[in-house]
C-alpha cells in the first residue's frame, strides 16, 4: 500500500429534506492526482466543502483522517493551517486589487508595527508566481489579466499558504483548451514535487490526460474508484460509471436535411470594442447559415465569437458596427434585442447566471420574459395562460423541477440551462444562436440539449453554435467556422473536420 | 404531477404561514399592544379615520417609491422637496394669483411629473446613480419651492380645492345629520366584490385543473379581510363618513397593485431588479424602465403635494421634509428587498400602516416626537433583520 494522505470514511451529510452525501468514502494517496467525477448535483462539491471545513465538523457524520490523524475542522482556516487548500469554480479574487494584495488577503504580511509590509508582500507574491510560471508584476490589477492567469494566481495563492493537498473545483471550466492544457501540465509538474491534488471536472479528456485515479460519485454515494494502469481508464468507462449505464452515442444522430434557402447571412461584419473604440473585435466577417443547418464557431477565448453573436443580436455588444445582415434573404437593421426577437432571432448566452436568467424569480417568470406579449392582452398578463405555456415549455425541455414556481437559482446547472433554453424556445426563433450551450453541465443534460438542437433543425430552423469543445462541434454541426483574433480563419465541412484540423487553422492564423 | 401539487397546496404549514404573513401578524400585535396601552382610545372612530387620512400621502408616495426600489434598491430622495415645490406652487397660484382650481391642479401635477422626468432622464438614459441624482433633486426642488413661496407660509382657503381632497362623501338620503350610512353601503359592495372574486377565481382554477390553495385558506382570507373592512366602515359611520382623500388613496393603491401584479409593464420592474443584463438581452428597454420609475415617482410626489396642502391647509419652506423617508421605510418594512426585484403593494400598505399605528399610538399616549423617531427606526431595522434572517434559515 502507498502512503495515504487523506481518508474520508462513511461521510454522510444531510440538508433539510435532502441527503446530499450518503456514506461516501474517499482515499487519496500522497503525490497523486485524484479526479472526482459525477453528474451535477451528485455531491462532489459538498464532499469537498466537508473536507475543507466549510461545513464544520458536527454538521456531518463520518470521519476524516489526514496524514493518519483524525481531523475535525471547524472553519476553512483550520483546514488551510494543515495545508488543505480549495480553489473554487468561481474565482474568489477581487478585480480592483493587485495580484499581491489578493494573494495575501486575510493573511497579510505585517511588519513589527502591525501594518502591511508591502515590499515583503510583493516579493513573496512574485516568488510564488514564479513557482506557477506566471510572469506578471505582482502589482498588476486582477482585472487586467485573463481568466487563465487568474486561475494561476489562485494556485500561487495556495502555495503561499504552504499547500500540501490542493483541491480544484472545475478549474478549467472557464478556460480555453490551450490554457486548460497548460494548467493540467502544471499540476503534473507539481505532482513530481510531491503535491497531491484533487480535481473536480466534467471534462473527461482532462481526467484521462492527467489523473492517476478517478472516484465516481452518483446521487451522493461513491460508486467506484478507477486506477490508471489497473482498471480500464477511458472516457466511455467513466461515463458508464457516472450515468450508471453505457452511453454509446454521445451525440444523437439526425438526418442532415440542409435546405438551399439561407436563414441568416452576414456580410462584412465589423465590430469595435464598446470602450476602446479604435479596437476592432470582429473584422470583416461574412458567413451564412441555411435552413435546417447547424453551424459551429470554433476558436480560442477572445476570438470574438461571443461578441460577433451579440452584435448580430440587436447590437447588444460593441460600437461602430458595420456590415449587412440578411434574414430569410431580406436585409434588416436590428437596433436592439427587442427588434432581434421580433425578427425571430434568439441568442442563448454563455453566462446563464449573469446574462441569461433572473435567478430570484420562478421558472414561469423567466420562461415568458422575452415574449411577455404572447401571454398578454392589452398589457395585462393572463396568468392562467402563462402557467400553461410555462408548464408546457418546462415539460418540452425536460427540466427537472418540483414546479414551475421554483426559483431558477435553486435549480442545478443543467436544469438552469434547460430553463434558459425554454425561455428562448418560447420566443419561437427561426435562427437560434447558442453560446457554449453545454458549459458546466453533465453528460445526460448535454444529450438532452443536443436532441433539442436536432429537433430545431428538423423543423427547418437554423442553429448557430459557439463552443470551446471541439468534439461537440464536430459531433453536432454541418459546417464549422474557425475564428481567431477577431477574424474568420477558415470553414470546414463537419465530415472532414478533426480537432487537429481546427487547431491547425487557429495556429496557422497566428503565425 | 397534479397530485403532487395538490398535496403541496392542501397541507397547512404553520411555520411557512407565520413567515409569509409575518408583517400582518406584526401589525396585529402592535395594534393590540397600543389598543391596551391607550386604554382602547386607539380604536375610537375619529382616530381610526385619521389613521388612514394622516398616512394617506405616505401610501401614495410609497406606491411610487416601490417601483424605484424594485429596479434595484434605488430610492428617490427628492420626494419631500417635490411636495414642497408643487404644494407651494398650488398655494401661490390659488391664493396669490387667484387661478382657477381646474387649471391649478393639472398644472401642479404636470410640474411634479416634469421634476420626475428630469430625474428619470438622467438616471435612465445617462445612468447617473439614482442616489446622486435625487440628492441633487432634493436640494434643487427644495430651493425652487422656497423661491416660489418667497420663504413665507402660504395658506389656501379656496373651498373648491379643499373639497376635492378633504370633503366627506354625502349620499343624499343615506347620510343626514343624524346618521351616516354610506360607508356601510360602500363597504358591503366591496365585501361582495371580494367574495365574488374569490369564488370565481377558485372555480376558474378548478375548471382548468390548476393548483389551488385549500378552500379554508382562500375563504378564511376573504372572510378576515371582509370583516376588517366592514368593521372599519362601521367606525367611519361614527365619524363623518368617507373622506374624498381616502378615495384618492385607495384608488391609487389599487391602480399600482394592478400594475405591479398583473401587467407586463409592471413585471419589467421586477425583472430589472432581479437581473438587469438578462432583462436587457430579453429585449426589454431597461433605460425606459428606470426612466418611468422616476418619472412616475415625480407624478405621485406632485399629487402628494396637493394632498398635503389640502390636508394641512398651508405650505411653507420646510413642508415635506423627510417625507420620502417614511415612504422608503414603509417599503422596506413591507418586505421590499433592499437589492430590488421583490416587494408588493399590499406589503407596502401593511408597512405604512404599521408605522402609522405606532405613530398614532404613541401620540395618543402623549409620548414625544423624539421617542417616536427612536421607535420608528428600531421597527425598520427589526423588520429588515427579521426578513434577512428568516430567509437565510429557510436556506435561500
| pLDDT at res. B393 | 56
A349 neighbourhood in chain B, CB within 8 Å: 278, 281
CA–CA separation, A57 vs B18, rounded Å?
32
State residue B396's pLDDT score. Answer: 40
Q: Are A394 and A367 in contact (CB under 8 A)?
A: yes
Which residues, 6 or more positions from A371, have their beta carbon under 8 angstroms from its beta carbon?
A341, A426, A427, A428
The per-residue pLDDT of chain A, averaged, comes to 86
Whether A162 and A275 share a structural domain: no
Any idea what the CATH number is for the domain that residue B79 is in? 1.10.3470
Taking only the tens place, the pLDDT of each residue in A42-55 is: 778 888 888 888 88
Are A188 and A79 part of one and the same domain? yes
Q: How many domains does chain A have?
A: 2
Residue A8 in domain: yes
B220 and B154 within one domain: no
| B112 lies in the same domain as B178 | no
- Tell me, yes or no, whether B178 and B316 share the same domain: no
pLDDT band with cut points at 50, 70 and 90 for residue A238: confident
Q: Do the Cβ atoms of A357 and B278 come within 8 Å?
A: yes
Both B190 and B215 in one domain: the answer is: yes
Determine the average pLDDT of the residues in B87-100. Answer: 93
Q: Is residue B195 domain-shared with residue B314, that is, in the same domain?
A: no
A250 within some domain: no
Q: Tell me, yes or no, whether A307 and A226 share the same domain.
A: no
What residue in A sits closest to B341 (Cα-Cα)? A360
The CATH code of the domain that includes A81 is 3.40.50.300
Specify whether A371 is located in the same domain as A313.
yes
Query: Comparing C-alpha atoms, which of B331, B342, B268 is closest to residue B76?
Result: B331
Query: A204 and A83: one domain?
Result: yes
Disruptive mutation site among B6, B278, B339 for chain A (greatest number of A CBs within 10 Å): B278
A41 vs A445, residue with greater confidence? A445
Q: Name the residue with higher pLDDT: B6 or A483.
A: A483
| Contact between chains at B341 and A358 (C-beta distance less than 8 A) | yes
Sheet hosting strand A18-29, strand order edge to edge:
A18-29, A4-15, A61-66, A69-71
The residue among B127, B197, B282 with the most chain A CBs within 10 A of its CB, best to mutate, is B282
Please determine, for residue A94, whether its predicted confidence score (pLDDT) is greater than 90: no
Is A166 inside a domain boundary?
Answer: yes
Q: Does some domain include residue B18?
A: no
**B153 with B230, same domain?**
no
Which residue, among A315, A372, A424, would best test binding to B if mutated, counting the most B CBs under 10 Å from its CB? A372
pLDDT digits (tens, 9 = 90+) for B133-155: 999 999 999 999 999 999 899 99
Query: How close is the nearest chain A Cα to the Cα of B131, in Å?
Result: 23
B10 belongs to a structural domain: no
Confidence of residue A347 (pLDDT cuts 50, 70, 90): very high
Please report whether residue A401 resides in a domain. yes
B2 domain-assigned: no
Same-domain check for residues B193 and B238: yes
pLDDT at B272: 94
Is residue A482, in this structure, part of any structural domain at all?
A: yes
Domain, as residue range, for A350 = 262-510
Q: Are residues A224 and A289 in the same domain?
A: no
User: What would the pLDDT profile of B293-328 be if each residue is shown by its tens digit?
Assistant: 999 999 999 999 999 999 999 999 999 888 999 999
How sure is the predictor about A2, in pLDDT bands with cuts at 50, 70 and 90? Answer: low
Task: Provide the greatest CA pair distance for chain B.
Answer: 70
Rounded Cα gap, residues A400 and A414, in angstroms: 9
Chain B hits for A336, CB-CB cut-off 8 Å, are 283, 285
Question: Given an 8 Å threshold on Cβ–Cβ distance, is A336 in contact with B285?
Answer: yes
Other C-beta atoms lying within 10 Å of the C-beta of residue A400? 14
Last residue in a domain, options B194, B224, B242: B242
pLDDT confidence of B12, banded at 50, 70, 90? low
Q: Where a domain ends, among B195, B213, B242?
A: B242
Domain membership flag for residue B25:
no
Do B366 and B289 share a domain, yes or no?
A: yes
Show Cβ contacts of residue B183 under 8 Å, excluding neighbours closer than 6 positions.
B233, B234, B236, B237, B241, B242
B198 domain-assigned:
yes
Q: What value does the mean pLDDT take over residues B59-78?
A: 94
Domain check: are B227 and B293 in the same one?
no
| ipTM score over 0.85, yes or no | no
Determine, for residues A15 and B270 on separate chains, whether the beta-carbon distance falls below 8 Å.
Answer: no
pLDDT of residue A196: 92
Contacts of residue B17, Cβ cutoff 8 Å, sequence gap at least 6: none
Query: Considering the domain boundaries, does residue B236 fall inside one?
Result: yes
Would you say residue A162 lies in a domain?
Answer: yes
Tell me whether residue A251 is in a domain: no
* Residue of chain A whose alpha carbon sits nearest to that of B4: A402
User: For the ranges A94-108, B25-39, B81-95, which has the lowest average pLDDT?
Assistant: A94-108
Statement: residue A429 has pLDDT above 90: yes
Mean pLDDT on A53-80? 87
* pLDDT of res. A218: 80
CB contact (8 A) between residue A356 and residue B278: yes
| Alpha-carbon distance A423 to nearest alpha carbon in chain B (angstroms) | 9
Q: Are residues A217 and A278 in the same domain?
A: no
Q: How far, in Å, are A27, B162, B184, B354 from residue B49 at the CA level?
A: 73, 18, 14, 15
Same domain for A362 and A478? yes
Residue A16 burial class via C-beta count within 10 angstroms: exposed 0-12, middle 13-18, buried 19 and up: exposed
Question: Listing from the earlier edge strand, what are the strands of the sheet with A262-272?
Answer: A280-290, A262-272, A319-327, A330-332
As to burial, measured by CB atoms within 10 angstroms (0-12 exposed, 13-18 middle, 19+ buried), residue A77 is exposed
User: Where is average pLDDT lowest: A227-236, B137-146, B258-267?
Assistant: A227-236
Question: Which of A316, A360, A376 faces B281 most closely, judged by CB atoms?
Answer: A316
CB contact at 8 A, B90 and B165: no
The total of structural domains in chain B comes to 2
pTM (two decimals): 0.79
Range from A63-72, B205-214, B217-226, B277-286 carrying the lowest mean pLDDT: B205-214
Q: Which residue among B8, B210, B342 sits closest to A387, beta carbon to beta carbon?
A: B210
Indicate if B270 and B364 belong to the same structural domain.
yes
- Final residue of a structural domain among B208, B242, B276: B242
If asked whether residues B362 and B312 sit together in one domain, one would say yes
A interface with B, Cβ–Cβ below 8 Å: 15-16, 313-314, 316, 336-342, 347, 349, 354-361, 365, 369-370, 372-373, 376, 379-381, 383-384, 387-388, 402-403, 407, 410, 423
Q: Which of A322, A320, A402, A323 is CA-nearest to residue A363?
A: A402
B35 within some domain: no
Residue A177 scores a pLDDT above 80: no
| SS percent in chain B: helix, strand, coil, step 5 | 75, 0, 20
Based on the domain organization, do A274 and A348 belong to the same domain?
yes
Same domain, B126 and B261: yes
Nearest CA-CA partner of A443 in A246, A243, A253, A296: A243
Torsion of CA A329, A334, A339, A340, to 10 degrees: 60
Q: Find out whether B357 and B51 touch, Cβ atoms under 8 Å.
A: yes
Residue-range definition of the domain harbouring residue B67: 40-167+249-388
Q: What is the mean pLDDT of residues A292-318?
A: 89
Report if residue A257 sits inside a domain.
no
Can you state the angle between helices B79-91 and B45-70, rounded to 10 degrees? 120
Which pLDDT score is estimated for B135? Answer: 96
Q: How far apart are the C-alpha atoms of A434 and A114, rounded to whole Å?
A: 53
Chain B residue set in contact with A, beta carbons under 8 Å: 4-5, 8, 204-205, 208, 210-211, 262-265, 267, 270-271, 274-275, 277-285, 341-342, 395-396
For residue B387, give how far its alpha carbon lies from the nearest alpha carbon of chain A (Å). 15
- pLDDT value of residue A236: 79
pLDDT: is B254 or A45 the higher one?
B254
Asked if the Cβ–Cβ distance from A338 to B265 is below 8 Å, we say no
Residues A320 and A375 in one domain: yes
Q: Examine residue B59 and state whether it is found in any structural domain, yes or no.
A: yes
Amino acid at each position: 500500500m502507498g502512503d495515504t494522505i487523506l481518508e474520508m470514511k462513511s461521510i454522510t451529510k444531510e440538508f433539510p429534506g435532502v441527503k446530499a452525501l450518503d456514506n461516501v468514502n474517499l482515499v487519496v494517496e500522497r503525490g497523486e492526482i485524484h479526479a472526482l467525477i459525477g453528474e451535477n448535483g451528485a455531491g462532489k462539491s459538498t464532499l469537498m466543502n466537508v473536507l475543507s471545513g466549510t461545513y464544520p465538523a458536527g454538521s456531518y457524520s463520518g470521519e476524516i483522517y489526514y496524514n493518519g490523524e483524525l481531523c475535525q475542522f471547524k472553519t476553512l482556516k483550520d483546514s488551510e493551517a494543515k495545508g488543505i487548500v480549495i480553489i473554487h469554480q468561481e474565482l474568489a479574487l477581487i478585480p480592483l486589487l493587485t495580484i499581491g494584495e489578493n494573494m495575501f488577503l486575510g493573511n497579510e504580511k505585517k511588519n513589527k508595527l502591525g501594518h502591511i509590509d508591502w515590499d515583503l508582500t510583493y516579493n513573496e507574491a512574485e516568488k510564488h508566481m514564479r513557482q506557477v510560471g506566471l510572469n506578471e508584476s505582482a502589482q498588476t490589477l486582477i482585472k487586467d489579466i485573463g481568466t487563465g492567469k487568474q486561475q494561476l494566481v489562485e494556485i500561487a495563492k495556495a502555495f503561499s499558504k504552504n499547500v500540501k493537498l490542493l483541491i480544484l473545483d472545475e478549474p478549467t471550466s472557464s478556460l480555453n483548451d490551450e490554457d486548460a492544457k497548460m494548467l493540467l501540465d502544471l499540476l503534473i509538474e507539481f505532482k513530481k514535487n510531491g503535491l497531491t491534488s484533487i480535481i473536480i471536472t466534467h471534462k473527461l479528456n482532462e481526467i484521462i490526460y492527467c489523473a492517476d485515479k478517478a472516484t465516481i460519485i452518483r446521487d451522493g454515494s461513491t460508486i467506484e474508484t478507477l486506477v490508471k494502469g489497473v482498471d480500464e481508464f477511458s472516457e466511455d468507462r467513466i461515463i458508464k460509471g457516472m450515468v450508471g449505464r453505457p452511453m454509446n452515442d454521445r451525440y444523437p444522430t439526425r438526418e442532415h436535411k440542409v435546405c438551399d434557402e439561407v436563414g441568416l447571412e452576414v456580410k462584412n461584419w465589423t465590430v469595435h470594442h464598446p470602450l476602446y473604440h479604435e479596437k476592432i473585435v470582429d473584422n470583416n466577417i461574412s458567413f451564412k447559415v441555411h435552413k435546417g443547418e447547424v453551424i459551429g464557431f470554433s476558436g480560442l477565448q477572445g476570438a470574438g465569437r461571443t461578441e460577433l453573436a451579440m452584435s448580430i443580436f440587436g447590437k447588444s455588444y460593441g460600437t461602430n458596427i458595420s456590415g449587412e445582415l440578411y434574414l430569410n434573404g431580406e436585409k434588416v437593421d436590428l437596433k436592439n434585442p427587442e427588434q432581434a426577437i421580433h425578427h425571430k432571432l434568439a441568442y442563448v448566452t454563455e453566462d446563464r447566471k449573469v446574462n441569461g436568467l433572473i435567478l430570484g424569480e420562478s421558472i414561469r417568470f423567466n420562461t415568458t420574459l422575452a415574449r411577455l406579449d404572447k401571454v398578454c392582452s392589452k398589457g395585462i398578463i393572463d396568468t392562467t395562460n402563462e402557467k400553461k405555456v410555462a408548464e408546457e415549455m418546462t415539460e418540452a425541455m425536460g427540466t427537472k423541477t418540483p414546479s414551475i414556481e421554483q426559483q431558477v437559482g435553486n435549480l442545478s446547472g443543467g436544469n438552469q440551462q434547460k430553463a434558459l433554453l425554454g425561455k428562448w424556445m418560447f420566443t419561437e426563433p427561426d435562427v437560434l444562436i447558442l453560446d457554449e450551450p453545454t458549459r458546466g453541465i453533465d453528460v445526460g443534460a448535454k444529450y438532452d440539449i443536443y436532441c433539442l438542437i436536432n429537433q430545431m433543425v428538423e423543423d427547418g430552423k437554423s442553429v448557430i453554435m459557439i463552443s470551446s469543445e471541439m468534439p461537440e462541434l464536430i459531433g453536432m454541426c454541418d459546417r464549422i467556422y474557425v475564428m481567431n483574433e477577431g477574424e474568420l480563419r477558415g470553414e470546414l465541412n463537419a465530415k472532414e473536420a478533426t480537432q487537429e484540423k481546427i487547431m491547425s487553422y487557429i495556429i496557422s492564423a497566428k503565425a | 404531477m397534479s397530485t403532487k401539487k395538490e398535496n403541496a397546496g392542501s397541507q397547512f404549514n404553520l411555520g411557512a404561514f407565520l413567515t409569509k404573513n409575518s408583517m400582518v401578524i406584526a401589525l396585529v400585535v402592535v395594534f393590540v399592544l397600543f389598543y391596551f396601552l391607550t386604554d382602547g382610545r386607539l380604536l375610537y372612530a375619529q382616530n381610526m379615520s385619521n389613521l388612514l387620512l394622516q398616512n394617506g400621502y405616505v401610501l401614495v408616495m410609497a406606491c411610487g417609491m416601490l417601483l424605484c426600489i424594485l429596479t434595484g434598491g434605488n430610492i428617490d430622495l427628492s420626494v419631500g422637496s417635490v411636495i414642497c415645490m408643487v404644494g407651494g406652487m398650488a398655494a401661490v397660484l390659488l391664493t396669490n394669483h387667484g387661478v382657477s382650481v381646474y387649471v391649478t391642479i393639472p398644472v401642479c401635477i404636470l410640474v411634479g411629473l416634469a421634476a420626475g422626468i428630469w430625474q428619470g432622464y438622467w438616471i435612465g438614459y445617462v445612468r447617473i446613480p439614482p442616489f446622486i441624482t435625487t440628492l441633487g433633486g432634493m436640494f434643487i426642488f427644495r430651493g425652487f419651492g422656497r423661491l416660489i413661496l418667497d420663504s413665507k407660509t402660504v395658506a389656501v382657503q379656496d373651498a373648491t380645492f379643499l373639497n376635492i381632497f378633504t370633503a366627506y362623501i354625502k349620499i343624499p338620503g343615506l347620510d343626514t345629520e343624524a346618521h351616516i350610512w354610506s360607508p356601510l353601503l360602500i363597504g358591503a359592495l366591496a365585501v361582495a366584490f371580494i367574495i365574488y372574486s374569490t369564488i370565481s377565481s377558485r372555480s376558474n382554477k378548478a375548471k382548468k385543473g390548476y393548483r389551488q390553495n385549500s378552500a379554508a385558506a382562500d375563504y378564511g382570507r376573504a372572510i378576515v379581510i371582509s370583516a376588517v373592512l366592514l368593521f372599519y366602515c362601521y367606525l367611519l359611520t361614527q365619524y363623518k363618513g368617507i373622506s374624498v382623500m381616502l378615495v384618492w388613496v385607495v384608488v391609487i393603491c389599487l391602480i399600482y397593485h394592478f400594475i405591479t401584479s398583473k401587467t407586463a409593464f409592471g413585471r419589467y420592474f421586477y425583472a430589472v431588479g432581479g437581473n438587469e443584463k438578462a432583462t436587457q438581452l430579453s429585449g426589454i428597454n431597461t433605460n425606459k424602465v428606470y426612466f418611468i420609475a422616476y418619472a412616475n415617482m415625480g407624478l405621485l410626489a406632485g399629487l402628494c403635494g396637493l394632498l398635503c396642502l389640502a390636508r394641512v391647509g398651508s405650505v411653507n419652506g420646510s413642508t415635506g421634509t423627510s417625507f420620502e423617508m417614511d415612504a422608503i421605510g414603509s417599503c422596506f418594512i413591507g418586505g421590499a428587498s433592499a437589492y430590488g426585484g421583490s416587494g408588493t403593494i399590499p406589503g407596502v400598505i401593511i408597512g405604512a400602516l404599521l408605522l402609522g399605528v405606532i405613530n398614532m399610538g404613541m401620540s395618543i399616549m402623549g409620548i414625544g416626537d423624539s421617542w417616536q423617531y427612536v421607535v420608528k427606526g428600531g421597527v425598520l431595522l427589526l423588520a429588515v433583520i427579521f426578513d434577512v434572517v428568516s430567509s437565510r434559515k429557510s436556506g435561500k
